[in-house]
Amino acid sequence: MATAAASSASEPEVEPQAGPEAEGEEDEAKPAGVQRKVLSRPVAAEAAEAKGPGWDLQREGASESDGDEEDAMASSAESSAGEDEWEYDEEEEKNQLEIERLEEQLSINGYDYNCHVELIRLLRLEGELSRVRAARQKMSELFPLTEELWLEWLHDEISMAMDGLDREHVYELFERAVKDYICPNIWLEYGQYSVGGIGQKGGLEKVRSVFERALSSVGLHMTKGLAIWEAYREFESAIVEAARLEKVHSLFRRQLAIPLYEMEATFAEYEEWSEEPMPESVLQSYQKALGQLEKYKPYEEALLQAEAPRLAEYQAYIDFEMKIGDPARIQLIFERALVENCLVPDLWIRYSQYLDRQLKVKDLVLSVHSRAVRNCPWTVALWSRYLLAMERHGLDHQTISATFENALSAGFIQATDYVEIWQVYLDYLRRRVDFRQDSSKELEELRSMFTRALEYLQQEVEERFSESGDPSCLIMQSWARVEARLCNNMQKARELWDSIMTRGNAKYANMWLEYYNLERAHGDTQHCRKALHRAVQCTSDYPEHVCEVLLTMERTEGTLEDWDLAIQKTETRLARVNEQRMKAAEKEAALVQQEEEKAEQRKKVRAEKKALKKKKKTRGADKRRADEDEENEWGEEEEEQPSKRRRMENSLASGAASAMKEETELSGKCLTIDVGPPSKQKEKAASLKRDMPKVAHDSSKDSVTVFVSNLPYSIEEPEVKLRPLFEVCGEVVQIRPIFSNRGDFRGYCYVEFGEEKSAQQALELDRKIVEGRPMFVSPCVDKSKNPDFKVFRYSTTLEKHKLFISGLPFSCTKEELEDICKAHGTVKDLRLVTNRAGKPKGLAYVEYENESQASQAVMKMDGMTIRENVIKVAISNPPQRKVPEKPEVRTAPGAPMVPRQMYGARGKGRTQLSLLPRALQRQGAAPQAENGPAPGPAVAPSVATEAPKMSNADFAKLLLRK
């Protein structure tokens, strides 16, 4: 039974070896183009030879009575065959050109994963057996292969295995496959294939060994481990020998002691198969396993319900297993998580850290570290841990050095990553040196590696990243400490520190103090004094600190002359520094004042433009025909300036209305003047505003409410427009749009749902376009209780798997950019940056599946031309968002401290109109000749309320005076 299962499992991938009749039927069912894609050229040739010259006649069912039809069919077949051959040659040539291109690309960058996969596919399609083997071998040396790639390779090799040597080759492939990932399907295939070799010497022991290893590897897998157990039991049941019953009993009992899905069915099968009563120990183990199964079920069901890669669900499962502490189950859940999340460096780091600290099994630890760097070669932390683990478990120096060289060629994303890997390797070399000897092979190698590291960072890293990656010269500092402390070679250490200072570090106080401490510990006082004197002259960030250290040293150890010289130098230096700081402060204050003046000037210009626009609008709306009769000055002025009439008191307005009525009656003209209430349209708008219910926001419902903003102001009925958009998320209880005092929609509203999950789902509608503008949807938070709450969806830190693209043409669409980016890897997300109106800004963020693809895309897309625009591409590293500072009191230099003007809770109003006539606000107003108050002393604005009372006519003449 197991042998049959093994053969059936390998059948789908084996190319069929059918006879002539079967091949003829297949040709009738499939067009020629499809057949060319299935059969490679050598296979097609062999099939043609097997068919023979009479194959066409046999396929068509020809007889002696229809010779004419045979000739016609034969000629047609020859013509069709000629076309197929020509089309096939053209397609083969195309594939060969693509194969050559892929091989050339891999010669440049051997870590292009997708290129490896495509090359293997084309070689397999062309039937290049030896080349496809070499391509698979090369890829497996650089990357761990997925379950699908391994099964495809294994099925191809199984179909071609003829003798015992070929079977051993397949066994070796299986051994390599099960080391990349823990895959139950590969173990099952391995066990079933080993059953086919049971007739060979030691075949039975081989099968049992494979199945036992499979059980120890994936037997605890709650959802897929059952297939391994069943295959092993079927194999043992098929063996005819006396001891098989006990072996099957043992397998049943071992399986029932492990929490697996469908345990009840296995227990029932065991009861039916066994002729003996169930032992009590087996029942106890079974009940215990059932109890454990109930604890694991929530995590397994969460994995079954979620979609790949299910990282969060696996993280929760790992936390649960870590609390229980079973090493076998912890290892299994890590392996299961890595099958779907093999490109997540943090998961590999956590797994290797657990093995380093808990299990400490050499083969297991090194195997996981090796797989980690093969999956995520761009992550320097994994390489660093790998080197430390190899040193910890005592691997030879040649192996560790080879691993380090592989790390250098892995292609890190940042320049600082190369500094880190060099430091780890140099630390390892230092620990190999016996410094009790004056000279040794290990010490010479350490010094040569320090020299090579500096050259590598200067040549390779700076050329690639346009930066050194080591601005503080950490490698050189480490070398100087080794020479000073361990080799007692202060001369070499001083030379290194001189080189450090000449690379732009002389202005930093901490660098000088580090050198001073090294001289203090391993040098002499004279060199310490010399270093501090140079530090006083060169330091620009914290000169006070350096001066204090110099004075402290001279106070403790120096002579009077040394003290006087130190005082003189520090005072001179500090005076110069203070002078420079004052000049810088004055310059900054002048710039601030200049900016404030420019802002004030812009504010005045805007105010003047606004007033002019308002004046023109008022004149156009309230223009009236001029009156022919100029005798009544009051009426004339009333028509010329109708806008002023509305701002008078009620008594003045009534007097003006009566005067106009008399004038129109005398002239015999019918003139309608609106001096009272507003027009009917404004009345209607005002009534609507008054009738509109004002609902106060209930902060207790913030969890079921979202805040919607950036909506178009032109929406007439916001509630009707928005309700269909949000009802897809759940029941909408209420939509509360916000209106201005004039009844205009202000562009934002509150949407209250019946359930909290509906509000969370509504947040996904953020940036949805509503009438040409992106709608902003954010959580509803009371900022009076949470003043630090900020809604910002995107990261502001370095994201190695995401690209920032600038310089895009505004006409570039998301689909067009996505097609360009897909050529360099799997694009998970793409976002075009827009302004509040939804218009593009020429910027975009592109998220790739992993850091390796992002780094490859940077190198290939940076400087690319899109519609005559040269784009810039870099790893996404947004600047930190600035926190708004509290307003401070700013004064010009030398001016008295005057606090800023304080406004009310609603801020400064749009208009600052005074109800007092301008003539009374002037401190030096001239005496009125007529219609005004009697001449008197100047009245200040603060006492303007004490002016003599005036009649309505006096006010009218005063306001209309030219």
Q: How far is CA 314 from CA 145, 249, 354, 598, in A?
A: 21, 34, 16, 58
C-alpha–C-alpha distance, residues 722 and 767, integer Å: 14
pLDDT surpassing 80 at residue 46: no
Which of 169-183, 189-203, 581-595, 854-868 shows the highest mean pLDDT?
581-595
What residues are paired with 732 via a beta bridge?
Answer: 753
pLDDT surpassing 80 at residue 481: yes
What confidence score (pLDDT) does residue 3 get? 37
Mean pLDDT of the region 166-189? 84
Best CA proximity match to 390, nearest among 343, 442, 352, 423: 352
Mean pLDDT of the region 72-78? 46
Q: 93-339: what CATH class?
A: mainly alpha
Segment among 477-491, 640-654, 711-725 with least mean pLDDT: 640-654
Predicted model pTM: 0.52
Mean pLDDT of the region 768-774? 82
What confidence score (pLDDT) does residue 887 get? 45
Q: Which CATH architecture has domain 796-878?
A: 2-Layer Sandwich (3.30)
C-alpha–C-alpha distance, residues 586 and 205, integer Å: 89
Which is more confident, 331 or 10?
Answer: 331
Q: Give the rounded percent of residues in the chain with a pLDDT score beyond 70.
A: 71
pLDDT-based confidence at residue 939 (cuts at 50, 70, 90): very low
C-alpha–C-alpha distance, residues 541 and 508, integer Å: 6
pLDDT surpassing 80 at residue 653: no
Mean pLDDT of the region 282-299? 91
Q: How many residues belong to the chain?
A: 962
Best CA proximity match to 221, nearest among 265, 198, 188: 188
Alpha-carbon torsion angle 936, 937, 938, 940, nearest 10: -110
Residue 129 half-sphere exposure toward CB, CA atoms < 13 A: 7
Mean pLDDT of the region 491-498? 94
pLDDT-based confidence at residue 831 (cuts at 50, 70, 90): confident
What residues are paired with 734 via a beta bridge?
Answer: 752
pLDDT surpassing 60 at residue 598: yes
What confidence score (pLDDT) does residue 205 get? 83
pLDDT-based confidence at residue 852 (cuts at 50, 70, 90): confident
pLDDT-based confidence at residue 855 (cuts at 50, 70, 90): confident
Contacts 24+ apart (CB under 8 A), 834-842: 834/774, 836/710, 836/773, 836/774, 837/772, 837/773, 838/769, 838/772, 838/773, 838/774, 839/810, 840/808, 840/810, 840/812, 841/810, 842/806, 842/807, 842/808, 842/809, 842/810, 842/869
Per DSSP, 908 falls in state: S
pLDDT surpassing 90 at residue 913: no
Segment among 237-241, 263-267, 535-539, 750-754 with least mean pLDDT: 237-241
What confidence score (pLDDT) does residue 549 get? 94
pLDDT surpassing 90 at residue 25: no
Q: Is the separation of the CB atoms in 807 and 861 below 8 Å?
A: no
In this structure, the number of other CB atoms found within 10 A of the CB of residue 548 comes to 12
Which is more confident, 657 or 71?
Answer: 71
pLDDT digit string, tens, across residues 359-406 = 889 999 999 999 999 999 999 999 999 999 999 999 999 999 999 999
C-alpha–C-alpha distance, residues 829 and 849, integer Å: 9
- Please name the residue ranges forming H helices in 239-354: 244-256, 263-273, 280-305, 311-324, 327-340, 345-354
SS (H, E, C) 478-535: HHHHHHHHHCCCHHHHHHHHHHHHHHHHCCCHHHHHHHHHHHHHHCCHHHHHHHHHHH
Which of 230-239, 553-562, 772-781, 907-916 shows the highest mean pLDDT?
553-562
What confidence score (pLDDT) does residue 670 get? 37
Q: How far is CA 106 from CA 100, 112, 114, 149, in A?
A: 10, 7, 10, 19
Of 3.40.50.80, 1.20.1260.10, 3.30.70.270, 3.30.70.330, which CATH number belongs to 700-792?
Answer: 3.30.70.330
What confidence score (pLDDT) does residue 168 get? 83
Of 1.25.40, 2.60.40, 1.10.3470, 1.10.8, which CATH number belongs to 343-429+443-470?
Answer: 1.25.40
pLDDT surpassing 50 at residue 708: yes
pLDDT-based confidence at residue 961 (cuts at 50, 70, 90): low
Which of 210-224, 352-366, 861-875 shows the highest mean pLDDT?
352-366
Segment among 65-79, 127-141, 323-337, 820-834 with least mean pLDDT: 65-79
Best CA proximity match to 329, nearest among 283, 260, 230: 260
Mean pLDDT of the region 751-762? 90
What confidence score (pLDDT) does residue 330 get? 94
C-alpha–C-alpha distance, residues 656 and 638, integer Å: 7
Integer Rg of the chain from CA: 43
What confidence score (pLDDT) does residue 483 get? 94
pLDDT surpassing 50 at residue 482: yes
pLDDT digit string, tens, across residues 138-162 = 888 888 888 888 888 888 888 887 7
C-alpha–C-alpha distance, residues 468 and 457, integer Å: 6
* Helix axes of 147-160 and 129-142: crossing angle, nearest 10 degrees: 150
pLDDT-based confidence at residue 164 (cuts at 50, 70, 90): low
pLDDT-based confidence at residue 789 (cuts at 50, 70, 90): low
pLDDT surpassing 90 at residue 695: no
Q: Is the separation of the CB atoms in 325 and 295 below 8 Å?
A: no
Q: Give the rounded percent of residues in the chain with a pLDDT score beyond 90.
A: 31
pLDDT-based confidence at residue 701 (cuts at 50, 70, 90): confident
- Averaged pLDDT of the chain: 76
707-723 burial, b at 16+ Cβ within 10 Å, e below that, comes to bbebbeeebeebeebbe
pLDDT-based confidence at residue 77 (cuts at 50, 70, 90): very low
What confidence score (pLDDT) does residue 628 get? 45
* Helix axes of 20-29 and 41-51: crossing angle, nearest 10 degrees: 120
Which of 57-61, 811-815, 882-886 shows the highest mean pLDDT?
811-815
